[in-house]
Amino acid sequence: MGTLIFATHNENKVKEVASVLKHRFEIKSLSQIGITQEIEEPFNSIKENAIEKARVIHLLTGQDCFAEDTGLEVSVLNGEPGVKSARYAGENRDFDANIDKLLANLEEAADRSARFVTIICLIRNGEQQIFEGECKGTIIAKKRGTGGFGYDSIFVPDGDNRTFAEMKMEEKNNYSHRKKAVEKLATYLQLQP
């Protein structure tokens, strides 16, 4: 079984990705390999930030790795919070505050359509590949559910009436933007020697 470094400290994301890739790769987070520093996300696009994180970890470790960046894009807010999703209400990554700010900004909105977008950048054998996944849905007015993380408690994917936070991991994976991107990554890796 091969090992892939996932350029994140977010163990929830590691669990999601490992649930898809577990039969083929051991997924190690930055914490598991002893990297404690935060990786800068200096760009104004999800794709550029994913590429930067993968590049930095590849330079630090010399090992095969991948990074992802995910954003929630709300139509009526011109794609906000987007690339700023984790820090929407400030630099301290407080998702309760992020949700409160988003719901306040949507208070008068009739259109509550949104989408999650995930971009994965893989660097393997010195080559870079990009994979994308999206999940369309709706932002509800009040939090529901206790599972998940981030905006999961206010996002209902198209085709269901539950929030991501009300679903088990396997149910969320039926819709998940991250799973869609990871499946593309897995398909690519299966075709590689």
Active site residue 152: no
Q: Which of 69, 100, 111, 152 is catalytic?
A: 69
Strand-pair category, 81-82 with 155-157: unpaired
Cα–Cα nearest to 57, from 78, 35, 75: 35
Residue of 57, 58, 5 whose CA lies nearest to 28: 5
The token pair at 190 is: 């299966």
The DSSP bridge pattern shows strands 81-82 and 2-6 to be unpaired
Please choose, from the candidates 100, 28, 106, the residue with its C-alpha nearest in 3D space to the C-alpha of residue 74: 106
What's the distance, CA 97 to chain centroid?
A: 19
Give the gyration radius of the chain's Cα atoms: 16
Alpha carbon separation from 48 to 11, 51, 66, 69, 121 (Å, rounded): 22, 5, 13, 9, 9
Cβ–Cβ < 8 Å for 134, 62: no
Rounded distance, CA 136 to CA 175, Å? Answer: 9
**Which residue numbers are catalytic?**
69
